[in-house]
A and B are shown apart, each in its own frame.
Chain A
Amino acid sequence: MADIFWWIIFPYITLVIMIVGVLYRYAFQQLTWAAPSTEFFEKKWLRIGSPLFHYGIVFAFIGHVMGVVIPKSFYTTLGISFELYHTGAIIGGGFAGLMVVVGLIILLIRKMTVDRVRIHATFADFYTVIALLIVAGLGAYMTIIYNTTVVEYEYRATIGPWFRSLFIFQPKYQLMAGVPLLFKIHIICAFGLFASIPFTRLIHFYSLPVKYLSRAPQQYRSRSHFKRRRI
């Protein structure tokens, strides 16, 4: 029963909260949608912490796509062996994980010690950083230490297929039964974090301004936009 809850019910609940919440905020709360930067208050520590964390998490995201979304068969057809894949994953993933964790620690200390930043930080801001730190800390620990000292866990045979099965609405929860506890906690925490996206500063994850690359430098707009819909 517990397996059904954690690997079917819980992921779907959290994903639904995230999707509905983000859409709701996009439709009705545009004025609250921003990347709530505190660079205006403090620049010195942000200069190190923020790029470390953000670039780290971009690499980590790519790593997760490579490990969990892309099926194992893809690598075998390319001729990439188990050893080669895991060496790459440990080095690349470990590096990204370290960047994220070190960046987050700097940002958290900054949030706690710099007056201007701390006083304007909300509960949600602290929650976000600490939750990210737990998820990323577990991830980095598994990649760097667990994988090298305990066992090189082949998540591409269990977690990967389970994750993909969520999106075709035929969740293979049985696959998760034998997964090491650390991985399970990492996944549960991550889904918990997804659910909090619409309610925290993490919302800015959805506003990467890619359109900027292709738009005209100068923007003109007409004042009038209450035009009758043309039928």
Chain B
Amino acid sequence: MRIKAQVAMVMNLDKCIGCHTCSVTCKNTWTNRPGTEYMWFNNVETRPGPGYPKRWEDTNRFKGGWVYKNGKLSLRAGGPITKLANIFYNPNMPSLNDYYEPWTYDYQHLINSPKKENLPVARPKSMITGKYIDKPEWGPNWDDDLAGGSEIVPLDPNVEKLQEHIAMEYEKAFMMYLPRICEHCLNPSCVASCPSGAIYKRDEDGIVLVDKESCRGWRFCMNGCPYHKVYYNWNTHKAEKCNFCYPRTEAGLPTICSETCVGRIRYIGVILYDADRVKEAASVENPKDLYESQLSVFLDPFDPEVIEEAKKAGINEEWIKAAQDSPVYKMAIKWKIALPLHPEYRTMPMVWYVPPLSPIMNHIVNEDELSTDGYIPAVDQMRIPMEYLASILTADDTEVIRNVLLKLTAMRVHMRAKTVGGIDELKQSQLLKEAGLTVEMTEDMARLLAVSKYNERFVIPTGRREMDDDLYYEQGACSIEELAPPEGMVTYPFERGK
């Protein structure tokens, strides 16, 4: 057993209102420099839709993630030899057009324009070439809230898979929001794709980072990551990605996207896992088994044996306590209401999603008297097709989605019975049983999902600085490492990373 701690996130899609506040604060914090204009470490996609970059889920084109072939786990885009052969031209890499050409507006013209008959306008101006763009044709969230409708929606690779035709009539259309950040995977394919070995997973908290001093700009990470969350800065020629706001999480604060989330949909917590079992768990034959096999990698933070092993691995009391109180542990492992995004990529993603409930298609009559038997089919008639959610969250396994939706519905019915009343108690308890819930669990769930406070949603222990650094030696030294190495501790490039 090789225990490692992972800082992970859950997003409750049921509460996402698609306001993009997370994207905006993230952008203002991390990607407002030349070369990064097109990057969104956090973005919110309207689904169904092609997403960002366009059709990122099209693994046939971009060849991201892993495949399990002939009993072996390998990169879809090919291993080291294929990569070195393609190093002069990467056929699978997306280009700027797959994201969008960022632009600003010629605001100066509003001020400098001579007096004219018509009002001056600020024309869009490319931030790549500085030239005017007469007709922008794609941009960030161009397809927000199903804009583009029947022309844009079919571009969604998940829609292509759906058996039934998606109706775009107003009465039948469905929509959901999908906020996305780097998944900080347990089996990251960007790390394995990097010829320079510049991308790494941090021992202490599992955050996946790019060492920009080692990065040589080979760009295999761009398409090696199936979620397309590693970007190429065309100005510095280095890779950049979401860093889980590590300067904040090290200080015990949530990431900026979580901190500013208006709907309070995000939860951050610690999960303990067995790093020795990751490869094996990612190598199960049937993609539908990947969800369960990922769960099997996680360790129970209450198990005395695990606690002892964790201590041996240098994980301190504070982190073990955080793992026990972790909202992510509760939602993903204990209650099984949060699911990983596209488990079939075999990267073991660590940003989990509670699938959204949606209006029930057929009008339910006499809801007051609705029995358990009435709610169970209702779950199957929700507006967002279960196949669609399954295509995103469970490698097409609708049974798992159904169970989660049933749990969420049962929770609502129970809480309604408790606070408003008018629902048959016996039938209500039958519904809970059907969903595999106890009353205590249901009420805990309702609290965490609906009214939990800041310190319940974000259980983040501070960085384990005391573990490895020689604090005695460092006292009085400059804390801004790298920029100014502490006195007497000159490091040379060949020593870095050791």
Residues of A within 8 A of B (CB): 26-27, 30-31, 33-43, 46-47, 50-51, 53-55, 115-116, 119-120, 204, 207, 209, 211-213, 215, 217-228
Chain B 227-254 interface residues, beta-carbon cutoff 8 Å to A: 232, 234-238
Contact partner, A227, options B81, B129, B468, Cβ 8 Å = B468
User: In this complex, what residue of A is CB-closest to B81?
Assistant: A213
Give 8 pairs: A residue, B residue, CB < 8 Å, sorted on A. Answer: A30-B493, A35-B218, A37-B219, A39-B95, A40-B219, A40-B232, A209-B196, A221-B211
A219:B95 contact, CB within 8 angstroms = no
- B201 A50 Cβ-Cβ under 8 A: no
- B236: which of A31, A204, A225 is its contact (CB, 8 Å)? A31
In the complex, are the beta carbons of A47 and B93 less than 8 A apart?
no
Q: Is the CB of A227 within 8 A of B219?
A: no
Min CB gap A166→B, angstroms: 28
Q: Nearest 5 CB-CB pairs, A to B? A: A224-B468, A209-B195, A34-B217, A217-B192, A30-B213
Q: Are A119 and B129 in contact (CB under 8 A)?
A: yes
Please report the C-alpha to C-alpha distance between residue A211 and residue B214 in the assembled complex, in whole angstroms: 13
Asked whether B217 lies within 8 Å of A37 as measured between CB atoms, the reply is yes
Q: How far is the CB of A100 from chain B (nearest CB, A)?
A: 13
Chain B count of residues within 8 A CB distance of the other chain: 66
B214 engages A30 (CB within 8 Å): yes
A223 to B200, CA, bound (A): 10
Report the separation of the CA atoms of residues A26 and B496 in the bound assembly, to the nearest whole angstrom: 13
Stretch at the interface among B336-344, B422-430, B483-491: B483-491
Given A116-B128, A120-B234, A207-B196, are A50 and B89 neighbors across the interface (CB < 8 Å)?
A: yes
Q: B216: which A residues are within 8 A, CB to CB?
A: 33-35, 204, 207, 209
| Bound-complex Cα distance A27 to B495 (A) | 11
Could you tell me if B214 and A222 are in contact, using CB atoms closer than 8 angstroms?
A: no
B91 at the interface (CB under 8 A from A): yes
Check if B96 is an interface residue, CB within 8 A of chain A.
yes
Cβ contact of A222, chosen from B80, B87, B194, B468, cutoff 8 A: B468
Cβ of B446 within 8 Å of any chain A Cβ, yes or no, is no
Q: A218-B188, A223-B463 are in contact. Are A27 and B493 (CB under 8 A)?
A: yes
Question: Could you tell me if B195 and A212 are in contact, using CB atoms closer than 8 angstroms?
Answer: yes
B contact residues around A226 at 8 Å (CB): 469-470, 474, 481, 485-486, 489, 491
Give min CB distance, B102 to chain A, whole Å.
Answer: 12
Q: Does B467 count as interface, using CB distance less than 8 angstroms?
A: yes
Judging by beta carbons under 8 Å apart, are A43 and B129 in contact? no
